[in-house]
Structure 1
Amino acid sequence: MTVDMISNLISTNPRFLSRSSTLVAALVLAGCTSLAPRHERPAAPVPGELPLPASLAASAPARAASTAWPDFLTSPQLQQLVKLSLERNRDLRVAVLNVQRAQAQLGVTRADRLPTVGVGLSNAASPNASTGQQVHTYTAGVQLSAWEVDLFGRIANLGEAAQAQVLASEAGRRSAELSLVAGVASGWLALAADTELLETTRRIADSREASMKLAQLRFDKGAASSVELQSARTLLEQARASRAQLQRQRDQDLNALTLLAGGPVPAELLPGATASASAGAMLAPVPVGLSSEVLLQRPDVIQAEQQLAAANANIGVARAAFFPRLTLTASAGQASTSLSDLFSAGHFAWTMSTQLLATVFDAGRNKANLDSAKISRDIAVAQYEKSVQSAFRETADALAGLDTWRDQLAAQQVQLDAARETARLAELRYQNGAASELERLDAQRSLLATEQALVQTRLGEQLNRVTLWKVLGG
């Protein structure tokens, strides 16, 4: 007869408990100290191999070594900013405190396995059976109150659940740290890109302001039409609007980075106007292997598995409630009917009592608790499987971007080269009278849009590499 069968029999027939003393004794003698089901990691509901791009599939090892963030972020400036953020970020601080709280709770649970011993002085008054007078009895000594002998592993299972929660909270701390490092790197890269875009737009706005002055002068002299003047004014206001938008976006990027860093970011750690172009060299290549088992080492997946282990242990706690609880109460010290000679020799006394309590009728409370514990375990299984599937999807998305972002970036660079040449030729033709002002301005507008697209594409490729490092667990 298995533990599950015993639990079901007791829960459906409370009278069985009164007839099961022989079975209970046999279980105790057999060393059945835990009624929790054995924890087993559920099979990962994802393919066994990661969907590597063609450029990596042929040469990728079965499993690749992890990359610590100081090795991934090779820029001293960015490394210093990450260190500062790890020291000051409040979310990470909360995650660390959650670990400490779980450890303290584990200490409380472990303490329940040992008796609690106290010292005390008491006075009890009761009538004398023969005289009817009140008789006082004074006692002083050590006391052990209602210490539970863990026959069926209830307290041990509570300890296992608390230990699993400690491991889960530690995995949560590592997950928070991983997200913080990736967030700081992504925020810094976004700030670098918007700083470059803002600087480019400022130059364009200054150039178009000069063009506007020239167009106004030519219009006043009758050498330019109203159409050319309005076109120059339109381009100038577009540049001003774009400059205001990018200034706002850069300020918001800085605010977000300040929040992640836990305080103001030193000016020497902020990216300059040309940092975006070289930011890709600040990120080391991310090693990728074929096996999807690497995802099981992600902190969020480990956290979900430990929460499943805690739910498993709670089933043992719920099962133990069906069986009797044995508690011991004892005291030892001095006892006397007179307070004056309480501590005199010859007044030592001790008491010990045991209590074995079993539930005969509880209106289905224990069975409902057991059902709830089992359902919580099933929920934890589903959450674990979802965390693995989410990890696989995030990794697959990042891997899909490795080749495509590089191809898009290369094509965007070629397009920018062509746009620059077009703008140069249009300027020459305009100066020689072979092209109109509208053709010249259109070429400049196309060049600006292509420059902005290149910066955005470069940022997308960099952010994808940061994401790949993060989703692989660092």
Structure 2
Amino acid sequence: MKKVTRLSLLSTTILLAACNLAPKYEQPQSPVGDMYKHIAPVGETAADLGWQTFFVDPRLKALIEVGLKNNRDLIIATKNVEAARAQYSIARSNLFPTIGLSGSQTAQELPADMNVSGTREISRSYRAGVGITSYELDFFGRIRNQKEAALETYFATEQAQRAAHINLVANIAEAYFTLRASEEMEQLMLSTVDAYEKTYALTNARFKAGTASLLDAQQARATADSVKASLADTQRSKQQAVNALVLLLGQELPADLPAAMPFGRDVIVNNIPVGLPSDLLTRRPDIMQAEHNLKAANANIGAARAAFFPSISLTGLLGVASLDLDNLFKSGRDMWSFTPSVSMPIFTAGSLKGSLDVAKIQKDIQIATYEKAIQTAFYEVDNALIGVQTYQQQLNALRSQTESADRALKLATLRYTSGIDSFLQVQSAQVTLLTAKQSFLTAGLASLQNKVTLYKALGGGWYATDMVKK
């Protein structure tokens, strides 16, 4: 009978220890469709294409390496991961008893009329041993759910660090391309200023010779001055692009950078593997971060529910005791103490219910956050895919426009010098050609940045990097 009772108690203890009051986690349904709108999915994914492969320009690669070592935002994100890991270790340690050495002395002085001997004297006792301090038996899963929440928070922080890594790589690339485009624009403006100054000198000489009007000379001067103003604006933008790049790198531009490739579409991989739409759920760090936060909120509900039930704690000491310090560690002085305690909430003025309500609301918030992360991901990918389809068409049209505008300027100049047309035709052709060249550079920059955005939106740039480091 006693054996049956012991087995029954043991079974009950095991069942209680296995009790978990957290809701069963179920991944929310995706709030978007399972197809991209503007491209047929393929099996490969950009997430497996490391940035060392995606970016071809050796100077850009060197700059990204510098940024990954020195960028302060990435350093903060990395330290947040370390802090979350330490916090998880703290939560996990609560599952185990705290064992330590302890020693104590008790001294007591009693008056003569309270002492058996009838004299006033001081009594002392000494204890030393190994003890367990306040070990809670996690019957209802409160500590386990707190540990699970801390673990999921740690995982979420890891994903946030990965997102910061990917964003930094993309931001450095975009800043670098902006700087290169500004340099190209500056060269265009410098060559245009030189050409317009020569045109003004020619027109002014024709005016002095009586073969051109003062209006023609003033129009040529105004056109040259207009381009000089644009040159100053371009040089300002170039210096600001340098400053933006320096901020991302976390230091000044290194002096020993490798030579840059000619600025154009070949500085990155042109064919970006889009992958399947479902890949976003497992490859985009921000989506995985949102899901880990949701799992943490789910575990917090279990911890809040467990707070309604009794808390059982154990305190014990195994050691030696003596009235005399000299005899403390001699044989026969063994002692032990065992102090179980139970606390049961009866009246908490609604605080426990409020904590549970907060935990449930936080889970609802995390569900909405997770769904929003998925919606944002599909929005970014679809927008970038639209860009991939249309930027090349735009660049082809602008290239054709530039060639036509160049021929028109040559014809207008020939007709002017032949006395057929006024200088106004030359001026109009000059403006058209310059505008076409500027538009081509601007669209080329936007096209490159759109591809970087698509690469980032697909979760590219982390996993292959991970494997390279290993």
Give the alignment's TM-score, normalised by structure 1: 0.88
Contact 1:295 1:472 in 2 (8 A): no
State the distance in 2 between where 1:27 and 1:291 align: 47
Q: Tell me which amino acid in the other structure corresponds to 1:239.
A: V
CA distance in 1, matches of 2:13, 2:103: 41
Alignment match of 2:126 (pick from 138, 155, 158): 138
Shift of 1:222: 4.5
> Which stretch of the first structure deviates more once superposed, 110-119 or 172-181?
110-119
- Give me the identity figure in percent: 38
Q: What amino acid is aligned across from residue 356 of structure 1 in structure 2?
A: V
Q: Distance in 1 between matches of 2:142 and 2:163?
A: 31
2:148 counterpart residue number: 160
Shift of 1:28: 5.9
Tell me the distance in 2 between the aligned counterparts of 1:393 and 1:177.
21
Is the 1:280–1:462 Cα contact (8 Å) retained in structure 2? no
Q: Does 2:254 match 1:266?
A: yes
User: Could you list the per-position Cα deviations for residues 386-445 of structure 1 after superposition, in whole angstroms to 9, with x for gaps in the alignment?
Assistant: 111111111111111111111111111111111011011112222322232221122111
Q: 2:374 — aligned with what?
A: 388
Contact kept in structure 1, 2:44 and 2:273, CA below 8 Å: no
Residues 188, 270 of structure 1: 8 Å contact kept: no
Cα deviation for residue 185 of structure 1 reads: 1.2
> How many residues matched?
444
In 1, distance between residues paired with 2:141 and 2:109?
Answer: 44
By how many angstroms is 1:271 displaced? 7.8
- In the other structure, the counterpart of 1:193 is 181
What per-residue deviation string (whole Å, max 9, x for no partner) do you get for residues 64-110 of structure 1? 46322112112222222212211111111111111111111111111
1:297 corresponds to which residue? Answer: 283
Q: Is the 8 A contact 1:48 1:293 kept in 2?
A: no
Amino acid paired to 2:26? E
CA distance 1:215–1:63, shift in 2 (3 Å): closer
Letter in 1 for 2:415: R
Q: Is 1:178 aligned to residue 166 of structure 2?
A: yes
1:212 aligns with 2:193: no
Question: Aligned partners of 2:287 and 2:247: how far apart in 1?
Answer: 27
Q: Which amino acid aligns with 1:85?
A: G
Alignment of 1:357-396 (within 5 A): 357-396=343-382
Cα deviation for residue 290 of structure 1 reads 4.7
* Counterpart secondary structure, 1:306: helix
Give the conservation status (yes or no) of the 8 Å contact 1:419–1:450.
yes
2:81 counterpart of 1:99: yes
Matched, 1:81 2:81: no
- Specify every segment of 5 or more residues in structure 2 that has no aligned partner in the other structure, as ranges: 1-7, 461-470
Alignment match, 1:120? 102
Structure 1 residues 163 and 183: alpha-carbon distance in aligned structure 2, compared to 1, 3 A threshold = same
1:283 is matched with which residue: 269, 273, 280?
A: 269
Structure 1: gaps of 5 or more residues: 1-21
Partner amino acid for 1:246? T
Task: Give 2:467's aligned residue.
Answer: none
User: What's the TM-score once normalised by structure 2's chain length?
Assistant: 0.89
CA distance in 2, matches of 1:421, 1:76: 36
Q: Which residue identity does 1:275 align to in structure 2?
A: P
Q: CA RMSD in A?
A: 2.3
Q: Which amino acid aligns with 1:175?
A: A
Aligned to 1:275, the other structure's residue is in SS state coil
Tell me the distance in 2 between the aligned counterparts of 1:220 and 1:241: 27
Amino acid at match of 2:195: S
- Choose which of 310, 318, 326 in structure 2 pairs with 1:332: 318
Question: In the TM superposition, what is the alpha-carbon distance from 1:220 to its structure 2 partner?
Answer: 4.5
